[in-house]
Amino acid sequence: MSDAPAYQIRAYRSGDEHGILETFNRIFARVDPTFRPRTLAEWRWQYERNPSGRRIFLAVADDGRVLAQYAGIPQRVLLDGEPTFFSQSVDSMADPEFRRLAREPLFVQVGRAFDERFGGVGPEQDTLMWGLPVPAAFRIGKKQLKYELVRQQHKLSAPLARLAPRATPLEAEELRAFPDDTDALSARAAHERRGMAVRDRAQMRWRYEENPHHRYRLAAVRRAGELVGVAVFRKGSFDLVEDGLLVDWLAPAGDEDVCAALFAWVCAAARAEGCERLTALVPDTAREWLAFQRSGFRVLATRYFLVAWSFSARHDLPWMRRHWYYTLGDTDLA
């Protein structure tokens, strides 16, 4: 084991990305046999081009080596119409060579600094930090940070053969890009949902159209010219199963015609891609939870559990449990 180098805990500075990637690719290659090194272009997409910003805190040695990172993917969020941020904790790491040299684990030190810098209420702060941690990170996080369970994260899954979309006068159109009026649809949806990440055109373009990892298919439904629903699909792996993934879903929960049109498109897309099953992720408190079950989906366990810590007494975890709407697209899992 090396001697403890002098280090400082601080926010990301331009140029740190090279040290971050060196440490990231070295550490994760050791623990994940399927790991593919992250490229600088991929890093820039995730941390520089997200319209909602960047969240990175680091433990950096005097010689520039990155010893630990606590990072998040921020999301602009509307809570009861008021703007704020959430951030999904991702890519947290501590170089095993140094992680136990300090009085308390570097991961914890950096995590605390991250909380202090970004956590809070109001339009500039992260009201909620959340994640779907691996067990080891969860055990540390609940003990030394503020991780709390929101729910065991179940999925909705169905063989395509069981899904029979109902008739609807509307039709979903497959698009190559999100249209301008995605902003208005996102605003209306946020009003209906009470707690939801902004899904405006800029965010959706970044998340799906410009994504360097995956190719997504998207579709929209219009009624009398107005955009009333969008869905995002891709074939891929979630929870170690290769499925058709309903990655995003933005439609008025009670508007059966819109939902049926999107649903018909998603099923057709899944068939066209040769999928046997369709899988979706929504909170069990969302209206879609029962609606999808009534359409033929079954609730299945996953290995994931959603953890979070809220900085707001008003929008605490019970509130989030009841009102926060999210899909697979909110996570970095699909």
Partner 1 sequence: MSALHATPDGFELRAWRTEEPAALEAFEPRREARACLFRPRSAAHWDWAFRRNPAGTRLFLARRGGRVVARYGGLPVRTRVLGETRTFANLLDSGLQQGESDDEVLVPLAQAFLAAHGGPDGDLVHYGWPDERDLVLGRRHLEHELLRVLCLLARAPGPGPRALPDGVEELARFGPEVDVLYACCATHWHASAIRDAAFLNWRFAEHPVRRFRLLGVRGGSVLRGYAVYHFDPELLSGPALLMDWLVLPGDEEASERLLAAALACARADEARGLAAAFPEWSPWTTYFQDQGFLHHPTEFLQVVRSAVPRFDMLWLRDNWWATLADALIL
Query: By the criterion CB under 8 A, which residues form the site for partner 1?
Result: 135, 138-139, 142, 148-149, 151-152, 154, 284-285, 289-290, 293-294, 298-301, 305, 321
- 320, 150 Cβ separation under 8 angstroms: yes
Output the CA–CA distances (angstroms, integers) from residue 271 to 181, 251, 268, in the order listed. 29, 22, 5
Shortest gap between Cβ of 301 and partner 1 (angstroms)? 4
Quote the CA–CA distance of 254 and 125 in Å, as a whole number: 32
105 vs 296, beta carbon nearer partner 1: 296
Which of the 8 DSSP states describes residue 6? P
Quote the CA–CA distance of 184 and 220 in Å, as a whole number: 13
Shortest gap between Cβ of 3 and partner 1 (angstroms)? 31
List the one residue out of 50, 60, 74, 73 whose CA is nearest residue 17.
Answer: 60
Shortest gap between Cβ of 192 and partner 1 (angstroms)? 19
List the one residue out of 236, 168, 239, 227 whose CA is nearest residue 199.
Answer: 227
Shortest gap between Cβ of 138 and partner 1 (angstroms)? 7
Q: What are phi and psi of 108, to 5 degrees?
A: -70, -45
307 vs 328, beta carbon nearer partner 1: 307
Shortest gap between Cβ of 177 and partner 1 (angstroms)? 36
Quote the CA–CA distance of 173 and 298 in Å, as a whole number: 27
27 vs 317, beta carbon nearer partner 1: 317
The number of C-alpha atoms within 13 Å of 112 and in the hemisphere containing its C-beta is 10
Shortest gap between Cβ of 147 and partner 1 (angstroms)? 10
Q: What are phi and psi of 65, to 5 degrees?
A: -65, 140
